[in-house]
Structure 1
Amino acid sequence: MNKWMVASAALILAAQPGAALAQDGAALDCPVLSASADQRAAIGNAMIGATDDATRDDLFRQLSGIVEKCATEHGIAKEQQGDYFDYSLARASREWLAVDLGKVGMSPLVVDKALDFGPGGTNPDLSEDMSEPQILKIVQAYTEEGIDIDKVESGVWEKVGAYAAATSIYWRKRKLLPH
């Protein structure tokens, strides 16, 4: 099989809803796989500010219940449950945002590479605002990918920023949890 067929198959699988979900092991997968597709989409929307406070708080309560059930099921220690919730929230948001960005031709992998996210990456802490150099790295990376940044709508840039923030939390919390 040639490498283009393999790459095409991988892209097709990646585009399928839920294809990226089962990836981290049962304990880490549990909260995201236990949430419905509608809940995951609502969480993604909440993370970009597309919901009111009451709706967001209700979603977080729902996710908290799912996380507590999964923590019990998989033996996650009480002192790790805050990190487990943060990881699950970040992962649900990150995966929804990745698909949403892909729909408008903005690959989230560009952000991952620009900010060095990943298992062996530096995974910078973006719990505060992104620095100007970090923003410039992302913009430059998209420019190098052939994206005309002047034509990208502000709502898309907000999703790019939310994806970067969620990915930061995802990798930082993931390393604190048992795999």
Structure 2
Amino acid sequence: MSVGLALFATSAHARPPEGLACALQAAPAGLDARVADVLISRDDDRGKPALDEVRALSDVCAQDQFMGPKQRDAYYLYVIGRMGRDVIDTRLTKVGLPSAVIDKALDIGPGNTNNPAPKVTEGDLRMVSDGMRDAGHDPAKITPEGWGLINAWILATSNMFDGLRDVD
């Protein structure tokens, strides 16, 4: 293979939004809520059926888009994060916790740096706590359920943007 062809073969091409949405659109009703439950509980064993279902959907879509093995794994991670974020955002709103405050505090979410976060640290939670306080939400009044949703939001966001970054 010539150098020119090698460079062309390895250059990144952004996936069209409809390609990224493939598994989300193909998902049966309620799968997104089951994925969110897995992210909130952090119990992959109990959530295995939902995760397996996402894997099957994402693999079909990845194959349709000619993704290699690493891209397939990244797309799976993206889909889990995206499904989780959509549902967790609604749940955060219901308990009066704006996801935008979490995104701003940690510089995650659309338009932010989205540094990889393999786990949520006490420092992360401190920054979110400060952000909530600054936004008029007393961190001491956030319930354990609320903190669980915050943790799940951070994890889902990390999965979504790490997957998106690595899909191409």
TM-score between both structures, scaled by the size of structure 2: 0.83
What does residue 77 of structure 1 align with?
A: 68
Specify the code of the residue in structure 2 equivalent to 1:86: L
Cα distance, 1:51 vs. partner?
A: 6.8
Query: Counterpart of 1:121?
Result: 112
Q: Is residue 43 of structure 1 aligned with residue 35 of structure 2?
A: yes
Matched pairs, number: 153
Using the alignment, how far apart are the partners of 1:49 and 1:118 within structure 2?
21
Report percent identity of matched pairs. 25
Whole-Å separation in 2 of the counterparts to 1:91 and 1:168: 10
Report the structure number with the largest CA radius of gyration: 2
Q: What residue number does 2:22 align with?
A: 30
What 5-or-longer segments of structure 1 have no aligned partner? 1-23
Amino acid at match of 1:127: P
CA 1:148–1:119 in 2, change beyond 3 Å: closer, same or farther?
A: closer
Offset from partner CA, 1:116-161 (integer Å, 9 cap, x none): 1135422122213x23322111001111111122221101101101
What TM-score do you get using the length of structure 1 for normalisation? 0.78
> How far did residue 38 of structure 1 move?
0.6
User: In structure 2, what is the Cα distance between the partners aligned to 1:104 and 1:75?
Assistant: 41
Q: Please identify runs of 4+ aligned residues in structure 1 that moved more than 4 A.
A: none
Q: Using the TM superposition, give the Cα deviation of residue 173 of structure 1 relative to its aligned residue in structure 2, in angstroms.
A: 1.6
CA distances 1:40-95 after superposition (whole Å, capped 9, x unpaired):
111111211187834x1111111111111111222222331111111111111111
Contact 2:80 2:159 in 1 (8 A): no
Q: Kindly indicate whether structure 1 or structure 2 has the higher relative contact order, using CA contacts under 8 Å at least 6 residues apart.
A: 2
Change beyond 3 A, Cα 1:72–1:82: same
Structure 2: runs of 5 or more not aligned: 1-15
Match of 1:144 in 2: 134
Q: Which residue of structure 1 aligns with residue 50 of structure 2?
A: 59
Equivalent-residue separation in structure 1 for 2:103 and 2:165 (angstroms): 17
In 1, Cα distance between equivalents of 2:42 and 2:59 = 26
Which residue identity lines up with residue 132 of structure 2 in the other structure?
Answer: Y
Q: Which residue of 2 aligns with 1:86?
A: 77
Is 1:153 paired with 2:159?
Answer: no
